[in-house]
Structures are given as structure tokens and as C-alpha cells.
Amino acid sequence: MVGAIALLAALTAGIAFPAGAAAGEPTGESAPKVDLVLDVSGSMRAKDIDGQSRMAAAKQAFNEVLDATPEEVQLGIRTLGADYPGDDRKEGCKDTAQLYPVGPLDRTEAKTAVATLVPTGWTPIGPALLQAADDLDGGDGSKRIVLISDGEDTCAPLDPCEVAREIAAKGIGLTIDTLGLVPNAKLSRQLSCIAEATGGTYTSIEHQDELTDRVNELVDRAAEPVVTPVAVEGADACERAPELRSGLYTDRQEFGQQRWYRVDLLAGQELRASVSVAADRAVRPDHGILMRAVTLHGREIVRGEATGNGRTDVVSTGLRHPKPELDDDSGKPAAETVCLGVTTSFSADAGVKTTPGLPLELTVDVVDGPDDASDVASFGLGRGWWLLGALVVTGFLAGLVWGWLSRWRVAVWRTN
């Protein structure tokens, strides 16, 4: 998976931001949150990680992670399959509980809670992810779920991959990273799908120190300042489209759908925009994306397009609108509204769910252009032509001199 696609809330028809803060900028108002979700199902009794049980390896890793967790990170622990030992599938699929609440970390209390865990029951990954998303609710800091499991979900038809897509579609800025304790192809596919749906990562683990290092790395990553995309909902027409400022945005686009967004430019400003769409499920190989900048009257200004052949999971394109129209009265660039249209051409085989739509990430950059539109010619392309002309003349003169010297040397050689 190239790149990654993350999401955050703020849905309105026209998005407003605090003064001085662009869309997607970290405000620093909320602490980062991490929820460690641990599989405590019966299979965790297996002794195949460095001569100890999977559960023992997980406990040891958790203790080391708790010692190393940065002070600014609010960390919690959720379990799945830890409490119900019976055979009733309905009850087993409810078996997920918050072992330690997400908040300021009391290391001793958290370690004591981990020590009580005993491998018990089912593997309700889907229900656990839904509950973990609620554990992380609130605040505008980064949010991360780290799922550690040794087996596939046992609570179908609640597909955990679909659950992850639904979580991503809510636009709550949550990333799910997954770690598999067994080198199993089917488990790997499921955990990879969960991670990719939210722009997370999947890691296969075979040793206890690998587990410790990877979880520590992910917890530390949550503490790093990041730019989190702001969720926005594109419209079916420019006049109803949300107004965007400079920033990073995310949306969901149905197969073959066109979405519109609106950017207002002041006099002398120019627009740079790019868009990426990720295939977070199986799609047919041939697909494409088209991004167009048009006026309010529908006249196309510039476009960017790209196609994919199925070898990558993300297709991206971009455009630049560097020269606003000149005002008829002043002769200078005028303020204008630019409509950004994004169209995709993805398709899927029968049986592949098309909802929620594919994750879309949109970057908008509005910058100050040249003070005078004529500067573009006089100091840009104009100067380039002068340089090109000078190089041509220099090359011509050098050729003449070299030819004259060559003929002179030949004449001298014949004379001698």
C-alpha cells in the first residue's frame, strides 16, 4: 500500500476554522490517544513464541511498553475473548471489555490489570474494534488502535474489514495498526485489510522482542505531531460544494461518482491542488482519476488525470492554476471562485461491496502569486528565452572558432 489515507471530523457544508489555523493543522489542544486491543482467546495458550505461550509473550511486551509510554500519550487497553469460556457463539461475540480506560497512564495499575489475563474464549475482532473506536472518542489529537491477534475473527458475518471501513468513513481521524502472532496467510489478509482501510500498517510477529519493539514504535508514533486530514463531504454540483481553504481533506467517493469542492481565490492568489484515491478493497485493474478546475460558469481552466493498472493501491493526480483572470477595469488579477471536480472510474467484480466509497485525500494549497501578472513573462519565460538565445549564439560562435582552428592546423601540417 502506497501511502496511507487517514481521517478526522468536521463535516459542514462550508467549513470554518479557527483564525490562523488551516485545515488539517495540528492544534495541540488534545493529547494523543492509543488503545491497545489484545486477543485473549483460547488459542493464545499455544507455546510457540520463544518457548513461551503467546499470552506470556504479550504480557511481557505490554509491561515493557507501559514502562516506555511517553507521558503525553493517553493509553488504554481493551481485550477480546478474555471473559466468556462457553460455546454460545452469541455470548462469545459480545466478549470484549475495557481492561484499562484510555487516559493518563498509571503504570502500576495498568500492569496489575494485564497480569490478571488468562486465555479464555472467542475472537470477536469486529465488535472489539467498534468498542475501541468509542474508547477513543473526543478530542482533536491523534487516535490509534493497535490490534494484536493470533487468529481470525470468529464472529462473521460482522466482517472486521468492513467494520474498519465504516470507522474510517465516520471521519474520526483514527488509524488501526494490526499485529499478527501467527504466520498464517488467511490471518495476514484479514489483518492487512483492517489496517489498510484506515491507513494503518500490518506486521507479522514471531518473537517477543519484535512484539515489544513494534508496539513501542506505534505508541511513540502517536505522540509525534502529525497533520490530520479534515473530513469533508463533496457535493454533486459546484454551487452546493463545501468551501475549502489551504489544508488536507478527506472524503469517500462511490464508484464512478463525481464530487465537487469550491476554493475562493483573492486577487493575485494561485491554486495548487492534488488528489489521491486508495483502493482499500479488490477492484478491477484498469481505473483512473480526473481532477478538473473550472469556473462557476463551467469553463474548464486546467485538468490533471492519471490511470492505474492494478499494480498499486493508490492513484493520484494534481493541477495548478497559476494565472487568475485579469480584471477588465484595473487590468490586474481579480478575485475568483474555482470549482474543483474529482471523477473516478473504479469498478469491482460481483460480490465486492462498493459502500462505503473509496477513501479520497485532497490537498489544497492557496499561495500568493506574482504581484503583477506581467512579472510571469518578464521574469519567467522571458528570461528563459534570453538565456536560450545566448546559449545558441555562444554555441554558434564556438563552432566557428573551432572550425577555423581545425583548418589552420591542417594547413600548417600540410606546409610542414
The more confidently predicted of residues 218 and 286 is: 218
Dihedral sign (CA 353, 356, 357, 361): negative
One domain for residues 144 and 266 = no
The answer to the question of residue 10 being in a domain is: no
Residue with cell 493520484: 316
The answer to the question of residue 183 being in a domain is: yes
One domain for residues 122 and 254 = no
Domains: count for the chain: 3
Instruction: Report how far residue 9's alpha carbon sits from residue 17's, in angstroms, rounded to the nearest whole number.
Output: 12
Confidence of residue 6 (pLDDT cuts 50, 70, 90): very low
One domain for residues 310 and 258 = yes
Q: What pLDDT score does 339 carry? A: 94
Domain of 245, in residue numbers: 232-368
Q: What pLDDT score does 76 carry? A: 96
Strands 258-265 and 247-253: unpaired
Residues in Cβ contact with 213 at an 8 Å cutoff, skipping those fewer than 6 apart: none
The answer to the question of residue 92 being in a domain is: yes
User: What are the grid coordinates assigned to 243, written together?
Assistant: 468551501
Tell me which of 171, 196, 223 is where a domain ends. 223
One domain for residues 59 and 83 = yes
Instruction: Report how far residue 162's alpha carbon sits from residue 129's, in angstroms, rounded to the nearest whole number.
Output: 11
Picking from 289, 279, 286, the residue whose alpha carbon sits closest to that of residue 197 is: 279
Tell me which of 205, 223, 241 is where a domain ends. 223
Helix, strand, or coil (residue 155): coil
DSSP labels, 348-403: --TTS---S-EEEEEEEEEEE--SSHHHHIIIIIHHHHHHHHHHHHHHHHHHHHHH
HEC letters along 197-247: HCCCCEEECCCHHHHHHHHHHHHHHHHCCCCCCEECCCECCHHHCCECCCE
Average pLDDT over residues 1-13: 33
Examine the pLDDT at 5 and tell me if it is beyond 60.
Answer: no
The answer to the question of residue 143 being in a domain is: yes
One domain for residues 259 and 277 = yes
Length of the chain: 416
Residue with cell 479534515: 230
One domain for residues 180 and 254 = no
Contact present, 217 and 183 (Cβ < 8 Å): no
One domain for residues 55 and 154 = yes
The answer to the question of residue 39 being in a domain is: yes
One domain for residues 247 and 304 = yes
Window from 104-108, 299-303, 310-314, 357-361 with minimum mean pLDDT: 310-314
One domain for residues 254 and 190 = no
DSSP letter at 36 equals E
Looking up residue 308, the CATH number of its domain turns out to be 2.60.120.380
Looking up residue 66, the CATH number of its domain turns out to be 3.40.50.410
Compute the CA torsion angle 37, 43, 49, 55 (nearest 10 deg).
Answer: 50
Residue 276 CB-half CA count within 13 A? 17
Residues in Cβ contact with 212 at an 8 Å cutoff, skipping those fewer than 6 apart: 60, 61, 64, 65
One domain for residues 243 and 301 = yes
Examine the pLDDT at 19 and tell me if it is beyond 50.
Answer: no
Q: What pLDDT score does 227 carry? A: 66
pTM: 0.62
Tell me which of 195, 223, 251 is where a domain ends. 223
Residue with cell 472518542: 137
The answer to the question of residue 6 being in a domain is: no
Other CB atoms within 10 A of residue 106 CB:
12
One domain for residues 150 and 256 = no
Examine the pLDDT at 248 and tell me if it is beyond 80.
Answer: yes
The answer to the question of residue 60 being in a domain is: yes
One domain for residues 61 and 201 = yes
The answer to the question of residue 191 being in a domain is: yes
Q: What pLDDT score does 395 carry? A: 64
Q: What pLDDT score does 73 carry? A: 94
